[in-house]
Amino acid sequence: MTVVQAALSGILLGGLYALMAAGVSVTWGVLRIINLAHFGMILLGSYLTFELASAWEVNPLVTLVVSVPAMFVLGGAAQWAFDRLGVSELNSLLITFGLLIIIVQSVSNIWSADFQRMTAAVNPYATESVTVGRFVFPVPTLLAFVVATVVILGAHQVLRRTFLGRALRAYSEDRAIAAAFGIDHRRIGVLLAAASGATAAIAGMLFSLANALTPATAFEWFGTVFAVVILGGIGQLVGTLAAGVLVGAVSGVVSVALSPAAAPFVLFSAIVLALLLRPQGLFTVGRTR
* Rounded Cα–Cα distance for residues 237 and 23 (Å): 9
pLDDT at residue 284, rounded to an integer: 67
* Rounded Cα–Cα distance for residues 93 and 212 (Å): 28
CA dihedral of residues 101, 22, 198, 203 (deg, nearest 10): -80
pTM for the whole structure: 0.93
Q: pLDDT tens for residues 14-31?
A: 999 999 999 999 999 999
Q: How many CB atoms lie within 10 A of CB 41?
A: 30
Q: Looking at 49-208, which runs of residues are DSSP E strands?
A: 129-132, 135-138
Distances from the Cα of 272 to the Cαs of 31, 227, 258, 276, 289, in angstroms?
Answer: 25, 10, 20, 6, 21
Are the C-beta atoms of residues 42 and 171 closer than 8 Å to each other? no
Low-confidence ranges of the chain (pLDDT < 50): 287-289
* Rounded Cα–Cα distance for residues 146 and 206 (Å): 11
pLDDT at residue 201, rounded to an integer: 98
All structural domains of the chain: 2-277 (1.10.3470)
Are the C-beta atoms of residues 63 and 48 closer than 8 Å to each other? yes
pLDDT at residue 288, rounded to an integer: 40
**Partner residues linked to 130 by β-bridges:** 137
pLDDT at residue 287, rounded to an integer: 45
pLDDT at residue 289, rounded to an integer: 41
